[in-house]
Structure 1
Amino acid sequence: MSSFQALRFHERGDVRLDKVTPLPCGSDEVRIRTAFCGVCGTDLKEYTAGPIMVPSPDTPRAQTGASLPVILGHEFSGTVTEVGSGNSNFKPGDRVAVKPNMADAQLGTPACSMCEGGKSNLCTSTAYYGLDALSGGFSEQAVVKTSNIFKLPDSVSLELGALVEPLSVAWHMVHSSGFQPGQDALVLGAGPIGLGLLLVLKVIGARRVIVSEVLEKRSAQAVAFGADTVINPTSTSDPTKGSSSSNPVVREAQEMTPGNLGVHVSFDASGLQATLDTAIAATRPGGTIFNVAIHSKSLLINPNDLLFLEKKFTAGIAYTAEDYSAVISALEKNADFAEKAKKMITSVVPLEDAVEKAFKGLLEKKEDHIKILVRGSRD
């Protein structure tokens, strides 16, 4: 193939389909024929307000050489078509999910203390396929490091393979929070990550999961995914069972837990002042408020709300190889998890329609969609 099609971000509001020259496949790399790539809120943010993570032409990403225009898309799956000379673990025809974040080991830089400690998601040199690297998922092909691909079992489709990335985010957050089987949780926001959190919480054995969501269709999806209670935070009703809170989400979190103490962990997947306040109030003494959202502006917090009841506020980012392996294993072994995860896919569009039907579709009709996949190669 002398060239291939790829969706590249040029500048704010300008994402277009370009003809791109294929990259060589290095000894520690593979070439894949991209199958599906999910549209993430990060892609939408670059489109409407970028460049943010995408490097500008005057400051290319040192470790990858990438700068505008870049191929977007970091939630992708595909089929191996070429393997580098140093590869012994993969072969053409292997179906794979791509972990987009690269750390020192992939970038050829000395290992930082985070990498040495097994926390490659916090690498000081992190770069991502689909944002600040030369390949991305909204394309007909991609060249990626061998250590960034994970084989998919026969029972896991390539569509599900494109969901491994957002599900790995959820998996990483739940495990980083310290949440334990048999505990209670609150998830604020039923978008793709919020629903992923709900699914993972149920897989690992949460006793009860409350979901807070305003949009009706997303609320209905949360119910279908196994939420024990879904609350519209704008609703009103009289407190019962001992709770005196006027906040319906806080009230539900207290009333459904023993002693009206609240949940063990609140996951804020919305990133609003209102959801942060709710998460703190709904969490039991000694519990954890875990931030998952990327914020567009600073929020206010009163440390006394944490101090007097020893509540903990923490956060997480991305995923590790262990998270990817765990999610793929769960999709293979837990049919209910896989079936519900696939229902997150609300539309699949061809690469040539990605801007109009995927990007603009999500921006203009948010309530109609959870996850839109873009089909890469037409083969």
Structure 2
Amino acid sequence: MSEVSFPGVRIRGVAAAVPDQVRTLADDAKVFGEDEVRKVSESAGVKQRHISSILCASDLCFAAAERLLAESDCPAEDVDALVFISQTSDYILPATSCCLQERLGLSKDCATFDVNLGCSGHVYGLWVVSSLIASGAARRALVLSGDTIHRMCSPEDRSVALLFGDAGTATLLERCEDTVPSHFVLGTDGSGQDHLKVGAGGCRTPWTPAALQRVECEGGNKRGAGDLYMNGAEVFSFTLRAVPPLVKKVLGGAGKVIGDVDGFVFHQANKFMLEHLGKRLKVPKDKLILSLENFGNTSSASIPLAMVTELGDRLRSEELDLVLAGFGVGFSWAAASLRCGDMTVPELVLVPVP
């Protein structure tokens, strides 16, 4: 696993945005029936999701970034780099980060690029930007993590359709000599690539009329090659194998133990899974941060979204030692031990759905 510490980098602020359109359990019950929805909700911990079939991840990230820059008094021209983390980009090309540079009014001297990662993506983004700042390549940079994965889900596939919501986030990092070093651990196992996948629509398997046709699969679910497929059992097994040693390794590298940490912000995949991880790691319940109930699984946005909605008040007024961990599609995983505090954390932005 890749492992590194970065001195002299701090998070100045974090913001999140979601569509103002909410899908409730009652809405889902009209499609899948009350009993099925209740079972999934009790296990996954999802009671509602913010979704839109019109807004893109970039729209939500733009709203979050615009609010964050305004409230942190950071002029757009002071941003040296922008990294867009998403698996739901606006186009095949150009890079969505280029579109966001123009929308946000950032300098033409600003370096931008996209990173195609999901569940682990936000921590990867922090790692990339921290390395840029620590090396002197940038003094201030934005990580924009967002996804609209629900648009990839077949509405007739209860294994995914009841879980995913939409969100976009913005995290502003900057050079700061007087800060505790952050510590990162990252890894990949591509042998798990088929267990969480949208098979059609890329150059390997282009769109065809057949790819758009949904056929009956396991348990009566219906999906096509262009819809999201998730092998829940394999993803769960991977998580239990990879995440406990990942968290222990990042804590060890940072010279910390479980009791030193104020909050564990894991990728918000599934409540049952997260609580199981918490028990394995002996994380106190009040330190295991959960935001699934109101937002579902928001892929790359889930960690910063949870920071805003569940820790925002504390992050504005005090310093917290946090462990962030993302894991999933790829298979890919990443964790960070960070000290965060005295940050700009705007209230959650609700973006009107046209």
Asked if Structure 1 and Structure 2 have the same fold, meaning a TM-score greater than 0.5 normalized by the shorter chain, the answer is no
TM-score by length of 2: 0.26
Q: When the two structures are superposed, what TM-score results if normalisation uses the length of structure 1?
A: 0.24
- Name whichever structure is richer in helix by fraction: 2
| Bigger CA radius of gyration | 1
